[in-house]
Amino acid sequence: MKIAIVYDCLFPNTLGGAERWYRNLAERLDRSHSVTFVTRRQWGAEGPETSFETIAVSPGGGLYTSAGRRRIWPPIRFGIGVFLHLVRRGRSYDAVHSASFPFFSLLGAALALKLTRSKARLIVDWWELWSLDYWRSYLGSVGGRIGALIQRLCVNLPDQSFTFSRLVESRLRELRPSARITRLTGAYAGESDYAPPPPSTQPPEPPLVVAAGRHIPEKRIPVIPPAIALAREQVPGLRCEILGNGPETEATSERVHELGLDRAVALRGRVGSNEVMRTIAEASCLLHPSLREGYGLVIVEAASVGTPSIVVGGPENAATELIEAGVNGFVAQSAEPEELADNVLEVVRRGTALRASTLEWYERRRDELSMESSLVAVEASYSEVVRDPVQARS
């Protein structure tokens, strides 16, 4: 079958859980199908380093403003590019597999398939589905209502929808009860070559807290230094390494200096996948205070090397679904420094026992958390075109 995967970012040019999912999905599917990855230009004259066909339908450039919000023009240009590409080639595809966000590319894909009366199934991954309250907090009263209306329109477009959390699945079913929705349980491809130490290995001494991810407002990276400062009052040798970069890096660095933590907290910037896993494996815990997560792949990655995670509860955070409190980490009640510090101290106190139970948690769920478990459902959705072809859209 010919499959188009539509996403505006390409790993490792851009980092993130969804980026890794689509890169791995393309590589896995290209072994037995013909895959075209439709994205923005994120590479130089050397071209994209991919084993599958990769087409840029819009320019590259930054996706975020200095304040950490998504820019409006890059997704609009990408949506137009997706539309034009599928107008030209849409009838040659059997399936078009798209991320739900940014919505402009999904709208462009749906319109192009309709206009060309393509037989291709439109398959959409819903990593997130925002509540109206969150839309308002993100874009204001008027902008938030418009965003929520566009989101609702997009919910009605796919022939098949996938989610990665119970939170998003329940919201999708509420908006479109008759939709074909499947919750996938795994997105971890185990791509790291790093070999973790055995679970009996003692946690680092002095203890180490690690954070990894993009430094954008919803990840709340600047709350980490104050939490470390408070925890160090009880454990003076506690260290922290913050991986990644983004609009909030400068603010985080300023907090580190203000609190006199220059020797205790290191902002290491962007590092390779193996180095990320090595650092996480050697940490006492992963501290992930994100406000909004559609899945939380880094939680699974941490558990795979026996490192417990601390996340923050909230109505938009599906990463809490991956935490069994006291077994593979903890769910903090808020992102206040005192609350995060208390959880960090509890992880340090439990030491080796918590690391061992974290690894046991992962081993019990290894199959369902693996990307291979999800690929079975994904490929089955593609094969529907053979058993029950989508009628030409009118």
DSSP character at residue 328: T
Domain boundaries for CATH 3.40.50.2000 within the chain: 2-189+371-387, 208-369
Query: What whole-number distance in Å separates Cα of residue 210 and Cα of residue 40?
Result: 31
What is the pLDDT, as a whole number, of residue 333? 97
- Helix (H) / strand (E) element for 139: namely helix 132-155
Q: Tell me the pTM.
A: 0.87
Architecture of domain 2-189+371-387: 3-Layer(aba) Sandwich (3.40)
What is the pLDDT, as a whole number, of residue 62? 81
Tokens 């398939």, residue?
113
**Total Cβ atoms within 10 A of residue 175:** 13
CB contact at 8 A, 4 and 97: yes
Q: What is the CATH number of domain 208-369?
A: 3.40.50.2000
Going 326 to 329 to 332 to 336, the CA torsion angle's sign is positive
Question: In sequence order, what E strands does the chain have?
Answer: 2-6, 34-40, 53-58, 95-99, 121-126, 160-163, 181-183, 208-212, 239-243, 265-269, 285-288, 309-312, 329-332
What is the pLDDT, as a whole number, of residue 194? 56
- Helix (H) / strand (E) element for 267: namely strand 265-269
Task: Report CA-CA distances (Å) from 180 to 92, 109, 187, 226, 393.
Answer: 24, 18, 20, 45, 18
Across 220-231, b (16+ Cβ under 10 Å) vs e yields bbbbbbbbbbbb
What is the pLDDT, as a whole number, of residue 375? 86
Task: Report CA-CA distances (Å) from 264 to 206, 237, 278, 346.
Answer: 11, 8, 19, 19
What is the pLDDT, as a whole number, of residue 389? 47
Query: What whole-number distance in Å separates Cα of residue 75 and Cα of residue 369?
Result: 30
Give the CB-side neighbour count of residue 59, counting CA atoms within 13 A: 4
Tokens 């991954």, residue?
125
Query: What whole-number distance in Å separates Cα of residue 213 and Cα of residue 190?
Result: 18
Q: Which amino acid is at 269?
A: G
What is the pLDDT, as a whole number, of residue 386? 46
| Per-residue pLDDT in tens (0 to 9) along the chain, 394 residues | 899 999 999 988 887 788 889 999 999 899 989 999 999 998 888 888 899 999 999 998 887 777 667 788 899 999 999 999 999 999 999 999 999 988 999 999 999 999 999 999 999 999 999 999 999 998 899 999 999 999 999 999 999 999 999 999 999 999 999 999 999 988 888 755 556 655 545 566 789 999 998 899 999 999 999 999 999 999 999 999 999 999 999 999 999 999 999 999 999 998 888 899 999 999 999 999 999 999 999 999 999 999 999 999 999 999 999 999 999 999 999 999 999 999 999 999 999 999 999 999 999 999 999 988 898 889 888 876 544 544 445 4
